Amino acid sequence: MERPRCDVVVVGGGVIGLASAWRAAREGLAVVLVDPEPGRGASWAAAGMLAPVTEVHYGEEALLALNLASARSWPGFAAEVEEESGLPVSYRRTGTLLVAADEGDRAWAAELHRFQAGLGLEVEWLTGREARALEPALAPGVRAGLWAPGDHQVHNRELVGALLAAGRAREVVHLPLRVSSVETSGGAVSGVGLGDGTTIDCGAVVLAAGCRSGELAGVPAGVLPPVRPVKGQILRLRGPADRPLLSRTVRGVVQGQSVYLVPRADGSLVIGATVEEAGFDLTVTAGAVYGLLRDAQRVVPGVSELVLEESLAGLRPGSPDNGPLVGPSGLPGLVLATGHYRNGILLTPLTAEAVAATLAGREVPGELAGFGPDRFPVLAC
Amino acid sequence: MERPRCDVVVVGGGVIGLASAWRAAREGLAVVLVDPEPGRGASWAAAGMLAPVTEVHYGEEALLALNLASARSWPGFAAEVEEESGLPVSYRRTGTLLVAADEGDRAWAAELHRFQAGLGLEVEWLTGREARALEPALAPGVRAGLWAPGDHQVHNRELVGALLAAGRAREVVHLPLRVSSVETSGGAVSGVGLGDGTTIDCGAVVLAAGCRSGELAGVPAGVLPPVRPVKGQILRLRGPADRPLLSRTVRGVVQGQSVYLVPRADGSLVIGATVEEAGFDLTVTAGAVYGLLRDAQRVVPGVSELVLEESLAGLRPGSPDNGPLVGPSGLPGLVLATGHYRNGILLTPLTAEAVAATLAGREVPGELAGFGPDRFPVLAC
């Protein structure tokens, strides 16, 4: 019997894998995407913030440039996904307001503002009163705010559904299985082995398995990406859709801890997130739920009245320098698209474009040039 | 066609209705119990504390005597339920430790101790150090404790399952419907109308519908019990079964607020409960979850490490004096068994005995004599 064959197998159906498969199919390639539960990992537990300015970190200026470039590509990307899928992704241009809970947080925010201004980012300093004028639900004690009018959001769960549909419209085949191994022939990718014992022949494999991308059999150790799970716990609450508590994303800094509150158009509110190195652990802990509610209520007291509908944990794919690993790898035919850490949703458009370009034999976009999979030294085992 | 007929219809399948139906069937009566979801209301959201001593309230001495009498009947009742059902109810004689979080709470506990001692209750004053010797997971800051060795617990969800099975073993028929009305003939109960439009003829109806007992069509307004929903929110957490955080029920008093932590043999821990007058609202709010976790962690810090598995709300059937309404009503053939407020699980044995006695034409047990349905003045509408 002839073995099934396609051009590209995408390993992993988070937003990175889904978007990469869709973009590859638009290049005319025959694509199979393999994931037992597409979109139900970190993509599902995300909040959908597209916030390079308020999330800028010291020492990550190269990543900032990449994030800004991907943020600029979001309006066009969202429009294309919606058009090809016929489904909404709720890309909302509502900006992000960072607020400081106490005097120490105010000092931290002022330092961040100097850093942002030095980078030429569009961000405005607000007094507590000015911040409350923008968002009346803010606590009276809020000391100051940073208004980033260009830090937007997308509904990450809608995005999953729309990317699945957009892929199907381009004849991407979704297999609800695990990829158990990559097969090689003459030193290059020749296929994959699946969890049900079958195989698929292919000329290329896109490894987009998030925090599990570092453990695929058949890939040489030096080629496997150095990713690790970074657990994040989030809450999803619900208030009245006709009287939303917030009209834009609020990021609170509370005694040095960060908490975000992302309002959806339907009245729900996503609150996140913890950052924990706890291995492949997806449990929701009492301490995390408590800490998120404490800090969220500190900056937006009305949160206490909302209905707590869901508590969930996800595993971000962390990398050594917090930047993604995107592009061709040391194994011919294996393309990496992983390690996006906290920026997976934000970096989906540029990553998918880079994967499609690599598969089509073109160069990756310049913004991703510094984020090739070969930038980390191989550790001897 | 002949209408279906039985001796007794029990309206409501919480622990009160289930136990009453079982006991009535043991009297030789043909019993039908009607509830769309037996055991899934307040009985499911309960913690199973059998704690008349630590829960004694000022001004409720008559209720205390009733609670103590029912607590004494629990060992025999649990053994009978387990024998007739073949299922465990995990009646655990582990006692209850009340602990005071700060100096104000210590003063409150000392006052409670004087009140308890004056009532001749078995309760011992402990220093913080002595309390921690009993339960090493208690916070270092715990100021004092009250040790009530006779306040035990039962697994309320196991109890629901065992009572269902015990009833079936006595040929109680469980109908997964609603009772829509009580039918009368010659001024006495003659049957019930069901939600599917059918009817059952019967000589007696037991109204055990918890907080919804006050709204049954066909019952004269002056006979309907004055019960109201009192919302309680609880959490169910899980820790390692081989290293339980607590070995007995801990009731914390934290800045005047009460929180209880009830450990199960399987490593789970029930934390409760809020007390809210919010109508027929079963939502879980962020503020309630936050408050329960805050107070629980204050007395047992290790709670933060546990997995939060479930957040749930239940509606206790509140009565004007916090005591139950049990026995014959002003409508011949209608027996009430409702209004148990926070003592439903505790009062199940005595209530079921009283219902069975009433149905069999005997007097209710003496301890319940003061809790007849006729003790409240009828309000003119």
Measured between CB atoms, which of A237, A283, A306 is closest to B307?
A283
Residues 6+ apart with CB under 8 A from B282: B231, B313, B314, B315
| pLDDT score recorded for residue B381 | 45
Mutation target for A interface from B236, B268, B293: give the one with most A CBs within 10 A. Answer: B293
What pLDDT digit, counting tens, does each position of B163-204 carry? 999 999 999 999 999 999 999 999 999 999 999 999 999 999
Instruction: Measure CA A372 to chain center.
Output: 18
| pLDDT score recorded for residue A79 | 98
Measured between CB atoms, which of B290, B303, B308 is closest to A294?
B290
For residue A230, give the nearest of A351, A67, A342 by alpha carbon.
Answer: A342
A104: pLDDT strictly greater than 80: yes
CA torsion sign, A98 to A104 to A110 to A116?
Answer: negative
A380: pLDDT strictly greater than 60: no
Is residue B56 within 8 A of residue B279, CB to CB? The reply is no
- The Cα–Cα gap between B274 and B262 comes to 15
What chain A residue is nearest to B294 in terms of C-alpha separation?
A290
Overall average pLDDT of the B329-355 stretch: 98
Kindly give the residue spans of alpha helices, DSSP state H, lying in A149-239: 156-169
Measured between CB atoms, which of A284, A287, A307 is closest to B304?
A287
A1: pLDDT strictly greater than 90: no
Is residue A8 within 8 A of residue A31, CB to CB? The reply is yes
User: From residue B17, how far is each of A268, B47, B280 by CA, in Å?
Assistant: 38, 18, 20
Q: What residues of chain A lie within 8 A of the CB of B311, using their CB?
A: 308, 311
What pLDDT digit, counting tens, does each position of B347-380 carry? 999 999 999 999 999 999 999 999 999 898 765 4
Measured between CB atoms, which of A283, A285, A308 is closest to B289?
A308
Measured between CB atoms, which of A285, A290, A305 is closest to B287?
A305
**Rg of chain B over all Cα atoms, to the nearest angstrom:** 21
Pairing state of beta strands B5-11 and B199-207?
Answer: parallel
User: From residue A9, how far is each of A6, A194, A195, A362 by CA, in Å?
Assistant: 7, 11, 14, 19
Q: What residues of chain B lie within 8 A of the CB of A294, using their CB?
A: 290, 294
A246: pLDDT strictly greater than 80: yes
What chain B residue is nearest to A269 in terms of C-alpha separation?
B286
Pairing state of beta strands B257-263 and B249-254?
Answer: antiparallel
Q: What residues of chain A lie within 8 A of the CB of B290, using their CB?
A: 290, 293-294, 297, 304
Q: What residues of chain B lie within 8 A of the CB of A235, using their CB?
A: 286
Task: Check CB contact under 8 Å for B283 and A307.
Answer: yes
For residue B212, give the nearest of B16, B371, B50, B11 by alpha carbon.
Answer: B11
Joined together, the tokens standing for residue A64 give 């900032």
| pLDDT score recorded for residue A242 | 87
Phi, psi angles (nearest 5°) of residue A253: -115, 115
The identity of residue A170, as a single letter, is R
Q: What residues of chain B lie within 8 A of the CB of A308, using their CB?
A: 284-286, 289, 311
Q: Which DSSP string do the residues of B136-179 spell out, in sequence order?
A: TTS-TT--EEEEETT-EE--HHHHHHHHHHHHHHTTPEEE-S-E
For residue B108, give the nearest of B120, B99, B96, B117 by alpha carbon.
Answer: B99
Q: Which CATH superfamily is domain A96-149+229-318 in?
A: D-Amino Acid Oxidase, subunit A, domain 2 (3.30.9.10)
Task: Check CB contact under 8 Å for B290 and A293.
Answer: yes
- The Cα–Cα gap between B64 and A124 comes to 63
- The CB density around residue A248, as the number of other CB atoms within 10 Å, is 22
Task: Check CB contact under 8 Å for A287 and B305.
Answer: yes
A381: pLDDT strictly greater than 60: no
Overall average pLDDT of the B335-348 stretch: 98
What pLDDT digit, counting tens, does each position of A36-52 carry? 999 999 999 999 999 99
Task: Check CB contact under 8 Å for A286 and B306.
Answer: yes
What pLDDT digit, counting tens, does each position of B21-63 carry? 999 999 999 999 999 999 999 999 999 999 999 999 999 999 9
Tokens 């006709």, located at residue: A242
Joined together, the tokens standing for residue B202 give 């019967």
Overall average pLDDT of the A191-204 stretch: 97
- Give yes or no for a cis peptide into A25 (omega within 30° of 0): no
What SS3 class is residue A54?
A: coil
Give the residue extent of every domain in chain A: 5-44+158-226+320-379, 96-149+229-318
A379: pLDDT strictly greater than 80: no
Task: Check CB contact under 8 Å for A304 and B311.
Answer: no
Chain B positions touching chain A (beta carbons under 8 Å)? 235, 237, 283-287, 289-290, 293-294, 296-297, 303-308, 311
Min CA distance, A232 vs chain B (Å)? 14
DSSP state of B280: S
Tokens 């993509």, located at residue: A43
Q: What residues of chain A lie within 8 A of the CB of B268, using their CB?
A: none
Task: Check CB contact under 8 Å for B303 and A286.
Answer: yes
Residues 6+ apart with CB under 8 A from B50: B71, B74, B151, B152, B153, B154, B345, B346
| pLDDT score recorded for residue A3 | 82
Task: Check CB contact under 8 Å for B306 and A285.
Answer: yes
Task: Check CB contact under 8 Å for A284 and B307.
Answer: yes
| pLDDT score recorded for residue B380 | 44
What chain A residue is nearest to B271 in terms of C-alpha separation?
A286
Measured between CB atoms, which of A285, A303, A306 is closest to B304?
A285
**Mean pLDDT lowest for which of A127-136, B109-118, B182-191, B370-379?**
B370-379
Residues 6+ apart with CB under 8 A from A2: none
Size of interface A-B (CB pairs under 8 A): 67
Q: What residues of chain A lie within 8 A of the CB of B287, using their CB?
A: 293, 297, 303-305
Tokens 């924990």, located at residue: A276
Q: Which CATH superfamily is domain A5-44+158-226+320-379 in?
A: FAD/NAD(P)-binding domain (3.50.50.60)
ipTM of the assembly? 0.89
A167: pLDDT strictly greater than 90: yes
What chain B residue is nearest to A309 in terms of C-alpha separation?
B284
Residues 6+ apart with CB under 8 A from B174: B13, B33, B35, B38, B164, B167, B168
Task: Check CB contact under 8 Å for B306 and A294.
Answer: no
What chain B residue is nearest to A238 in terms of C-alpha separation?
B285
Task: Check CB contact under 8 Å for A304 and B285.
Answer: yes
Overall average pLDDT of the A144-160 stretch: 98
DSSP state of B376: S
| pLDDT score recorded for residue B379 | 55
Joined together, the tokens standing for residue B293 give 């976790």
CA dihedral A12, A13, A19, A20 (to 10 degrees): 20
Min CA distance, B261 vs chain A (Å)? 13
- The Cα–Cα gap between A236 and A263 comes to 10
- The Cα–Cα gap between A345 and A48 comes to 6
The identity of residue B267, as a single letter, is G
Q: Which DSSP string do the residues of B255-276 spell out, in sequence order?
A: TTEEEEEEE-TTSEEEEE---B
Task: Check CB contact under 8 Å for A286 and B311.
Answer: no
Measured between CB atoms, which of A285, A286, A308 is closest to B284?
A308
Mutation target for B interface from A246, A308, A310, A311: give the one with most B CBs within 10 A. Answer: A308
- Would you place residue A278 in the very low, low, confident or very high pLDDT band (cuts 50, 70, 90)? confident
Task: Check CB contact under 8 Å for A308 and B306.
Answer: no
Q: What residues of chain B lie within 8 A of the CB of A297, using their CB?
A: 286-287, 290
Task: Check CB contact under 8 Å for B285 and A307.
Answer: yes
Min CA distance, B37 vs chain A (Å)? 22
Burial of A51 by CB count in 10 Å (0-12 exposed, 13-18 middle, 19+ buried)?
buried
DSSP state of B380: P
Q: Tell me whether the CATH fold assigned to B5-44+158-226+320-379 matches the one assigned to B96-149+229-318.
A: no
Q: Mean pLDDT over all residues of chain B?
A: 96
What pLDDT digit, counting tens, does each position of B226-257 carry? 999 999 999 999 998 888 999 999 999 999 99
Min CA distance, A35 vs chain B (Å)? 26
